[in-house]
Amino acid sequence: MKVPLLDLKPQYLSLKKELDEALLKVAESQYFILGPEVDAMEKEMREFLGAKFAYGVSSGTDALLLSLMALGIGEGDEVLLPTFSFFATAGVVSRLNAIPVFIDSDPVTFNIDAAKAKEKITAKTKAIIPVHLYGQSADMDAVMKLANEHNLFVVEDGAQAISTRYSNGRCVGTIGHIGCYSFFPSKNLGCFGDGGLVVTNDEEIAYRLKITRVHGGDPKYYHKVIGGNFRIDAIQAAILRVKLPHLNSWSAKRRVNAALYNSFFVASGLAEGTGKTEFNNANKVLLPAAVFEKLQADIPNYHIYNQYIIRVEKRDALREYLAKKEIATEIYYPVAFHNQECFKDVPSAKDSYPVSDALSATVIALPIFPELTEEQIKFVVDMIAEFFMS
Ligand SMILES: *Cc1c(COP(=O)(O)O)cnc(C)c1O
């Protein structure tokens, strides 16, 4: 049985008429960049996310870059961020000649360990970027407390977490100073190309985001600050407006799929607890934290499973075995920032990161997209069980 990691076709087919009409409407309007579709999308996003201001941008990466620019982060400023994340989280910091300061991960949520972030604060620290990895909120109480104590800006990287809720019921991205999202097609809410969004509740920051998105001009051709072209296309906004009303049901379906995986793993006897950095038994699978939700009452957030991640000691051999069974998997991410060639001169790269190193060596993403069938999920778990018996 073939199980792809992600299949976007069924979602498209389920909304084909509306999506095709949205595309045609933009073609007929010949209004391609920003404009009425983007305004309407931003309004719907503000309402959906519970944010005062929202601006559509060119990608999730640009959302992060624009945010740091709008906050005036630049040469020599230090920015705390998890060493275990997608490249963009750290890349944008270095592109502004600021200094990424890598932080080890929490072994349960795989997100930034705020206690370890605290140890690395200096007089130059200006901001912290918590990432809500795989669709699960970082510990925002701890992050906000640290930020308040040390007067840091908080830029949330919610690229994998649009509609994820934190324990206080708020959407992640609306808790810090700025929230960033990505509409890359493989995210929970994807458009037909690149796209992103920034949100804030602060009027002054909102103004800076808004003008920096259009080369810093206000009015046009009168440049207050040096910005860039961070605009989103009308076509992407039109697609997002069709899809947004379905996002909650897609995320709910991902959660159902995650629960199915969890129960099949538990039934198979393969499941071991979570939050370990060392395996007691190389033939066991560490499940995502949420399976032990009841035991982990301190992590009561709404995980939207952009990825369903298990940890396996013999990860690479398992991956090969599954590939032979036509089950696609992926490694998010095989190399943490402190081990990346391009960051070898970053001072914090020489520090030790035992949790992130363990994660890079053992995580594996299984297919989790909403349209996956129970039969496919059962097959994946059966094949993993077969691998451990072979
Ligand atoms: C996808 C992603 C980004 C970048 O988004 P793009 O739209 O691909 O530029 C940034 N951070 C994280 C954690 C991501 O997963």
Say if CB 184 and CB 193 are below 8 A apart. no
The answer to whether residues 201 and 335 belong to one domain is no
Assess whether the C-beta atom of 135 lies below 6 angstroms from ligand 1: no
Q: Is the pLDDT of residue 298 over 70?
A: no
pLDDT band at residue 294 under the 50/70/90 scheme: very low
**What pLDDT does 367 receive?**
98
Say how many Å lie between the CA of residue 86 and the centre of ligand 1.
7
Assess whether the C-beta atom of 230 lies below 6 angstroms from ligand 1: no
Least confident range from 38-42, 168-172, 376-380: namely 168-172
CATH code for position 296: 3.90.1150.10
**pLDDT tens profile 347-359:** 999 999 999 999 9
- Picking from 245, 268, 286, the residue at the C-terminal end of a domain is 245
Q: What percent of the chain has pLDDT over 90?
A: 89
Q: Which two tokens stand for residue 101?
A: 């300061």
pLDDT band at residue 290 under the 50/70/90 scheme: low
Q: Which helix (H) or strand (E) holds 154?
A: strand 153-157
Report which protein residue has its CA nearest ligand 1's atom 7: 60
The answer to whether residues 241 and 251 belong to one domain is no
Average pLDDT over residues 144-170: 94
**What pLDDT does 300 receive?**
57
The answer to whether residues 124 and 46 belong to one domain is yes
Q: Which helix (H) or strand (E) holds 48?
A: helix 36-49
The answer to whether residues 232 and 252 belong to one domain is no
**What pLDDT does 291 receive?**
37
Say if CB 208 and CB 178 are below 8 A apart. no
The answer to whether residues 210 and 255 belong to one domain is no
Q: Is the pLDDT of residue 293 over 50?
A: no
Q: Would residue 3 count as lying in a domain?
A: no
Q: Would residue 2 count as lying in a domain?
A: no
Which amino acid, residue 380?
A: V
Say how many Å lie between the CA of residue 62 and the centre of ligand 1.
9
The answer to whether residues 275 and 225 belong to one domain is no
Longest dimension (CA), the chain: 68
- Which ligand 1 atom sits closest to the C-alpha of 131? 13
Number of structural domains the chain divides into: 2
The answer to whether residues 87 and 196 belong to one domain is yes
What does the alpha-carbon distance between residue 167 and residue 172 come to, in Å, rounded to a whole number?
Answer: 10
For residue 298, give its domain range. 247-389
Q: Is the pLDDT of residue 191 over 70?
A: yes
Say how many Å lie between the CA of residue 14 and the centre of ligand 1.
26
The answer to whether residues 272 and 293 belong to one domain is yes
The answer to whether residues 269 and 234 belong to one domain is no
Assess whether the C-beta atom of 61 lies below 6 angstroms from ligand 1: yes
**pLDDT tens profile 66-80:** 999 999 999 999 999
Which amino acid, residue 111?
A: N
- Picking from 227, 245, 263, the residue at the C-terminal end of a domain is 245
Assess whether the C-beta atom of 154 lies below 6 angstroms from ligand 1: no
pLDDT band at residue 295 under the 50/70/90 scheme: very low
Say if CB 353 and CB 102 are below 8 A apart. yes
Ligand 1 test: best mutation among 87, 132, 133, 160, most atoms within 8 Å of CB?
A: 160
Which amino acid, residue 241?
A: R
Say how many Å lie between the CA of residue 37 and the centre of ligand 1.
23
The answer to whether residues 193 and 295 belong to one domain is no
Handedness of CA 67, 72, 74, 76 (dihedral sign): negative
The per-residue pLDDT of the chain, averaged, comes to 94
**pLDDT tens profile 238-255:** 999 999 999 999 999 999
Q: Would residue 1 count as lying in a domain?
A: no
Say how many Å lie between the CA of residue 28 and the centre of ligand 1.
31
Least confident range from 112-121, 164-173, 337-346: namely 164-173
Contacts with 186 (C-beta within 8 Å, 6 or more apart), sequence order: 6
Report which protein residue has its CA nearest ligand 1's atom 1: 159
Average pLDDT over residues 271-295: 73
- Which ligand 1 atom sits closest to the C-alpha of 306? 15
Q: Is the pLDDT of residue 297 over 60?
A: no
Q: Is the pLDDT of residue 88 over 90?
A: yes
Q: What percent of the chain has pLDDT over 70?
A: 97
